[in-house]
Amino acid sequence: MSLVPSVDLSDFISGDPKRKQKFIDEIGQAFEDIGFVALGGHFLSEELVENLYDEIKKFFDLPQDVKNGYEIEGIGGQRGYTSFGKEHAKGRKEGDLKEFWHFGQYVTDNPKLEAEYPDNVIVKELPKFNEVGKETFKMLEKTARYVLRALALHLKLEETYFDEFITNGNSILRPIHYPPITSEPKNAVRAAAHGDINLITLLMGAHGKGLQVKNHKGEWVDAIARPDQLMINVGDMLSRLSNNKLKSTIHQVVNPPKELWGTSRYSVPFFMHPISEMPLNCLENCIDEEHPKQFQDITAGEFLHERLIDLGLIKK
């Protein structure tokens, strides 16, 4: 079974100080140890999850030439469709065995950011696709806000420290399709070993084997959530901010055993990004003699740009 700890967000929002502190301690400890938790008590309803999977399966089943029409040049894959094999992990040449879609932020009351972010892409063939995507984005963003409030308290910050930085943040909802494998992959896996760029990632669809996490001993362990849970992990931005107190753990999606090659796999990560002006300078209260400052000062926007170049999604 999964060696990733389980937590329940309803403890944090229960109004009971003891349950709230229990959640803060549990998620804080998990993120210091392995960088992953399985989270129940989130804001996604079963119905919304079912509707989302219905819509994304319909989209990825569309003819390839129709899907290609939603691949937008010049925006580094930030919105719309990215075709099979386009993205690769940092330091690898082989493209991952996946195709995916990006929903981005729905900006409110901020014309500057509205102009900065690319528009969401509307799929004409599927009238409910964008509506269901938007609702899922909002519910995952709400869940992430509370998780970050708990982490702020764990880091001895004011509870709403992250709120101003994640409001209208550059977050991404990414439905992924790993198609059936038709021939022996040459040195490629569904998603090669990588760390995430952002603050935290909330993953739907980690219910079967495939997702693996590297623990402190360098061993790969299966990360499996219950159907009613999300898998949540620390990204590099939060690791930098906390001077690596909270761990951004290397993870991968391995190819299934040969007898399951004929099956598709779907997963839906939500990458919680802040606004680009957020400073990722190591927090003073995470630096001491035993833990000297490990990272140079940088903003979230500068860091994201560097990493998109590493991933081959934008050119220098």
Query: Above 60 in pLDDT, residue 218?
Result: yes
Q: Which letter does DSSP use for residue 259 in this model?
A: G
Residue-averaged pLDDT of the chain = 88
pLDDT single digits (tens) 241-295 = 999 999 998 888 776 667 767 778 888 999 999 999 999 999 999 999 999 999 9
More reliable by pLDDT, 178 or 51: 51
In a domain, residue 123? The reply is yes
How do strand 176-178 and strand 265-272 relate by DSSP bridges?
antiparallel
At 96 the pLDDT is 60
How many folded domains does the chain comprise?
A: 1
* C-alpha dihedral sign at 313, 314, 315, 316: negative
In a domain, residue 1? The reply is no
From the number of C-beta atoms within 10 Å of its C-beta (0-12, 13-18, 19+), residue 45 rates as: exposed
- Host domain of residue 277: 6-310
pLDDT single digits (tens) 230-250 = 999 999 999 999 999 999 988
Query: Above 80 in pLDDT, residue 91?
Result: no
In a domain, residue 315? The reply is no
- Tokens 């796999």 map to which residue? 265
Quickly state the pLDDT bin for 1 (edges 50, 70, 90). Answer: very low
Quickly state the pLDDT bin for 316 (edges 50, 70, 90). Answer: low
Quickly state the pLDDT bin for 188 (edges 50, 70, 90). Answer: low
Q: Where are the beta strands (DSSP E) in 224-264?
A: 230-234, 251-253
Which range among 167-181, 204-218, 288-302 shows the weakest confidence by mean pLDDT? Answer: 204-218
Query: Above 70 in pLDDT, residue 192?
Result: no
For the chain, what percent of residues have pLDDT higher than 70? 88
Supply the CATH number for residue 189's domain. Answer: 2.60.120.330
Quickly state the pLDDT bin for 30 (edges 50, 70, 90). Answer: very high
Mean pLDDT of 91-105: 76
At 252 the pLDDT is 84
In a domain, residue 316? The reply is no
